[in-house]
Structure 1
């Protein structure tokens, strides 16, 4: 190899893919809507490299156990609920919500060591959460899920969707700071963008406008979407609440968007998203219900666009960034606190940090591109 070729190779940025972690993040993970688990049946959830059984006892309280029976390995999620216990389909050993074998119908007594792993469950605002900690510790008092929907208003029921994605779940976390992808992937135009990291919370504040060259409104009867305001916050490694206001030409729609996930394994996670709309004088119940159906479809398209990117991209530990790309490395440092022992959490991972991007240059470039696209589209229509 010549000296010039060697020098040129040295200057090429080489992607470092790294290895997806096999350890799953410490924190509260949402498993979905409470109503889906309160039907008197056990439910199977593959998460954290294992299988869980989720069921409600006679009082309607959610219980979560390891799915595999400690007797002979039967799958409890394929069994039935009997009283406050889930009964194994193999030999009818009955396990209560505390992880203790409560009864073996054919046995004189229950072995003293007949216990299985109980997972800490929490129900909040009609959602079910499970606590995961590789060290086996309970959550610290300040590690909580904050208020989801304000109690001083009436809201629609959750509209909820889920999809399984074959990649490591950190890919979705990077979106917290990725301002530019909203234009190229989701057809919005961020005009304001700020991140705040502190403790176990990561916040994304943004305002944006709709792209007229992509999103068309030809029917005057349909309200025209002008843009949005958003304050989204990850509470821990996997649960994001988004106070999202859609700005239409006739009214504003206040909503709560949930973006959450739980890992199935190192290279697979379940992504869930849901929306609830605040009922107001401008948006009464009947309009809120109609809007919710439309909005969950629109939001779903956005998540599917992300999933298509994740499916085809490579993992990259050393992304090459420009000034307008946001604090990617700082975000990953914040996220690292959930992937190490509590004793190894450093002050840099949890200290307060604020980053406000200057969006003037991107917006100028994007508006010019939108204008050019609209002119091209108008020319094509005239030729037709």
Structure 2
């Protein structure tokens, strides 16, 4: 059937720029790298190699030996060094070549790139900056006391490959409307705060899976471009459940990224260890099921640079303006992009929530 020249809204979908975000990126549980073996990291459009030295500190260096191009992540760990599987050159965590088995003198240029890492909340982070600057102290990953408390479960973390640009998932921090449609969780109150390197969301609503007939409260923050933590209060049966959710990603290339999703659950007083484990596992599975509904969308959606929005969608354009700072040279970041901005939507006209103080200047 002919449309007689009538056309719809013209979607703009430019290819992403060949640049990766400035910031800390999470590589999963730190202890997973302390197995005495090197680990292959295909991230930021290149190959890196991670290994733990004799002190347990995790080092990350460029993954190819400049001698003859061997993959260092397929080598072996000896003491503080990563040994090339091809000719046995030994590389330290600082990127310097420490010895060559058949040569007494190490060439002065024998160095590979070494990457800044950090451990916090039992997780390993790697710093990426296209300009090559070290991580400033004000963007350090904040400590979560629950990660070290016997009153909380250990992290339960899943890892998955998503075949799209990683910027697609960050829209969720300001996408109020998808909660009801995708998750069956109608929203009563929704607010965003953008300031500096952080973007925060406060959502109060309902979820049959995560809160039953009770109120669900979720306070979420992106600390930089790729590390997102949610403090959530829901309910299972007659028990109130406190949980902490991890949502973090690291790009493989411009069209794929590794997403890691984790859950911590606070143990319930009066229950045995076995009962608490069962309760935590059941809640983890419900939280995962809700999260995977987002994954299905991300894995098949297209990129839209000019989304056609309506009242009630949430501050998508403001969020994207905030997020662009991580893809811009530091000196070129516009002050308005990192200035404090608060957007509130009280859809059910409820009493201002207790956590609303987070948004007060």
Structure 1-normalised TM-score?
A: 0.86
Q: Does 1:351 align with 2:339?
A: yes
Secondary structure (helix, strand or coil) at the match of 2:220 reads strand
1:122-271 equivalence runs, <5 A: 122-150=118-146, 154-211=151-208, 224=212, 226-271=214-259
- Tell me: CA distance 1:230–1:90, structure 2 relative to 1, closer, same or farther (3 Å): same
- Tell me: CA distance 1:38–1:14, structure 2 relative to 1, closer, same or farther (3 Å): same
Query: Quick check: 1:160–1:273 contact (8 Å CA) kept in 2?
Result: yes
Match of 1:368 in 2: none
**Partner residue of 1:340 out of 320, 328, 333:** 328
Unaligned runs of 5+ in 1: 217-222, 362-384
Match of 2:20 in 1: 24
Secondary structure (helix, strand or coil) at the match of 1:323 reads coil
Deviates more, 1:270-279 or 1:30-39: 270-279
1:23-50 Cα deviation digits (max 9, x unpaired): 0000000000011100000000110000
1:54-81 Cα deviation digits (max 9, x unpaired): 1100000010001111111111110110
- State the structure with more CA Rg: 1
Quote the offset at 1:291 in angstroms: 2.5
Structure 2-normalised TM-score?
A: 0.91
Quote the offset at 1:5 in angstroms: 5.8
Q: 2 CA distance for matches of 1:90 and 1:227?
A: 59
Match of 2:303 in 1: 315
Unaligned runs of 5+ in 2: 350-361
Quote the offset at 1:105 in angstroms: 1.0
Quote the offset at 1:254 in angstroms: 1.2
Q: 2 CA distance for matches of 1:110 and 1:231?
A: 53
Quote the offset at 1:357 in angstroms: 1.4
Output the aligned Cα RMSD: 2.0
Query: Quick check: 1:22–1:266 contact (8 Å CA) kept in 2?
Result: yes
- Tell me: CA distance 1:122–1:225, structure 2 relative to 1, closer, same or farther (3 Å): farther
Deviates more, 1:40-49 or 1:13-22: 13-22
Question: Which stretches of structure 1, 4 residues or more, deviate above 6 A after TM superposition?
Answer: none
**Partner residue of 2:275 out of 287, 296, 320:** 287
- Tell me: CA distance 1:206–1:282, structure 2 relative to 1, closer, same or farther (3 Å): farther
Q: 1 CA distance for matches of 2:268 and 2:251?
A: 37
- Tell me: CA distance 1:152–1:293, structure 2 relative to 1, closer, same or farther (3 Å): closer
Q: 2 CA distance for matches of 1:317 and 1:336?
A: 12
Between Structure 1 and Structure 2, how many residues are aligned? 346
- Tell me: CA distance 1:334–1:105, structure 2 relative to 1, closer, same or farther (3 Å): same
Q: 2 CA distance for matches of 1:360 and 1:225?
A: 16
Deviates more, 1:150-159 or 1:67-76: 150-159
